[in-house]
Amino acid sequence: MCGATEGGLSLDGVDVKKEAIIQGQVFRGEDPVGNAYVRLLDRTGEFTAEVPTSATGHFRFFAGEGEWTLRTLAPKADPVDNRVVAAVGSVAEVNVRI
Amino acid sequence: MTRESSLVSPQWVEDNLDNPDVVLIEVDEDTAAYDKGHIRNAIKLDWTTDLQDQVRRDFVNKAQFEALLSDRGVSNDHRVVLYGGNNNWFAAYAYWYFKLYGHQDVVLMDGGRKKWELDSRELTDEVPTREKTTYTAQDQDTSIRAFRDDAVAAIGVQNLIDVRSPDEYAGRLMAPAHLPQEQAQRAGHVPTSLNVPWSKNCNDDGTFKSDEDLKALYAEVGIDDSKDTIALCRIGERSSLTWFVLKELLGHQNVKNYDGSWTEYGSLVGVPIALGDEPGDA
């Protein structure tokens, strides 16, 4: 994927100080999953956003302060939930295993 | 309209991939998604360039819409089948467009691109070529489009359904959580609007919930069937999906989509705004 860097997505052009970023990568075993869907659920479990993973399995959300759940759906896999805490000015990196 | 006349299943699409009377069109929020693979024989519409005027803040006019569909090989007699990512978010926006300009036979593929992928159905990177047509659009059907004055006049009078996420509705976020936070000058919602996040219309796999579940969803928040309804979100795309549910699946009359939505309303001078999780007073 264009701009992808080892250890995470490129943050070029993103003002990290103003954003509460949640990002990461989806894996099946050791392989990145490029056809997964990652949903962001808020503290009440309500759907907030969803993104498809990139060819390298990466995803990113610009969230708000607080607790969130990532729900990952992929072909031939059960949905997987990961809890994450986001804070303005930081990047929460999450590796999802399906 | 009903579920049978406005939705087709992925299997129906698979069975009609070579049907000359059908044009399959992918419309995605991620405008590069098509280029990474799409359903065979599908063409692409880019909502940022094909469907939006590139100077004014508005969508393409009748002549531009006619030129677009003629160029892409869509005729007035074709059955147009739309699909896209994110629960058909932008495909529903395109569906509203086609209805706005009077296309008779247009449907969504239930579940959109996600359902197709989760079913492990085939995608291709081959781009089909289609012969150009002469498409004739109708004048805009403004019975399904709301403008800012309609939104203001609806406060405390009509059903206003704000379909953004609860945090956007309450004013804690200004935009969906996968987009940089920007746009309107003020956060919050139109007073008296009810918050029914658009995602509640769909199952996890992107398909629409049953009519019974959808009726229960809107009854629970107190939508008044005797009143006209305006759906709104941030830029009018997510609310197209709710418009589709209320008008096309559940058959409500007089449902409009406010495409100016919060980016317009939240930048207007002097209009009332409510903050927090409650609808607020008129």
Note whether B204 contacts A50, CB cutoff 8 Å. no
Give the pLDDT band (50/70/90) at residue A1. very low
Among B60, B65, B27, which residue's Cα sits nearest to residue B46? Answer: B27
Per-residue confidence (pLDDT) for residue A4, from 0 to 100: 34
Candidates B33, B179, B204; nearest CB to A73 = B204
pLDDT of residue B1: 75
pLDDT confidence tier of residue B257, bands split at 50, 70 and 90: very high
What confidence score (pLDDT) does residue A2 get?
32
The residue from B105, B140, B175 where one domain ends is B140
pLDDT of B217-230, one tens digit each? 999 999 998 999 99
Q: Does A14 touch chain B (CB under 8 A)?
A: yes
Q: Are residues B135 and B170 in the same domain?
A: no
d(CA B120, CA B133): 34
**Which has more confidence, B136 or A34?**
B136
- B165 falls in which pLDDT band (50, 70, 90)? confident
Taking the Cβ of residue A26 and every Cβ of chain B, the question of whether any pair is shorter than 8 Å is answered with no
Q: Which residues from A are below 8 Å from B205, CB to CB?
A: 73
How crowded is the C-beta side of B32, counted as CA atoms within 13 Å?
A: 7
Q: Does the annotation count B233 as an active-site position? A: yes
| pLDDT tens sequence across B13-56 | 999 999 999 999 999 988 888 998 999 999 999 988 999 888 98
Q: Domain boundaries in chain A?
A: 15-62
pLDDT at A6: 40
SS3 B244: helix
Q: Which residues pair with B24 in a beta bridge?
A: B81
Q: Assess whether B135 and B124 both reside in one domain.
A: yes
Q: B111 and B197: one domain?
A: no
Average the pLDDT over A65-74 and give the result. 94
Return the CATH number at B102: 3.40.250.10
pLDDT at res. A73: 94
Residue where the block lists tokens 């303005």:
A88
Q: Higher model confidence: residue B74 or residue A19?
A: B74
Structural domain containing residue B188: 143-265
Q: Are residues B30 and B156 in the same domain?
A: no
Q: What is the mean pLDDT of residues A1-21?
A: 64
Region B231-250: mean pLDDT is: 95
Nearest to B176 among A19, A35, A49 (CB): A49
Residue of B nearest to A76 (CA): B118
Same domain, B124 and B148: no
Please write the tens of the pLDDT for every residue from A12-67: 777 778 888 999 999 999 999 998 999 999 888 888 888 889 889 999 998 888 99
B132 within domain boundaries = yes
CA–CA gap between residue A76 and residue A86 (Å, rounded): 29
Of B118, B119, B178, the CB nearest to A49: B178
Phi/psi for A61 (5° steps) reads -125, 145
Task: Say yes or no: B192 and B84 in one domain.
Answer: no
Q: Are residues B163 and B135 in the same domain?
A: no
Closest residue by Cα to residue A32 from A55, A10, A52: A55
Inter-residue contact B174 to B181 (CB < 8 Å): yes
- The number of C-beta contacts closer than 8 angstroms across A and B is 69
| Statement to judge: residues B7 and B131 lie in one domain | yes
pLDDT at B36: 85
The structure tokens listed for B145 are 């489009």
Q: Among the options B8, B24, B233, B255, which is catalytic?
A: B233
- Chain-centroid distance, C-alpha B175: 17
pLDDT of B179 strictly over 70 = no
pLDDT at A5: 39
Task: Return the pLDDT at A44.
Answer: 86
pLDDT the model gives residue A80: 96
Domain shared by B105 and B186, yes or no: no
- Cβ-defined contact of B178 to A39 (cutoff 8 Å): no
> How far is B22 from B105, CA to CA, in rounded Å?
10
DSSP for B77-139?
TSEEEEE-HHHHHHHHHHHHHHHHTT-SSEEEETTHHHHHHHTT---B-PPP--------PPP
| Mean pLDDT value of segment A81-92 | 94
How many structural domains is chain B composed of? 2
Specify the higher pLDDT residue, A48 or B153.
Answer: B153
Q: Under 8 Å CB-to-CB from B19, ≥6 apart: which residues?
A: none
The mean pLDDT value of chain B amounts to 94
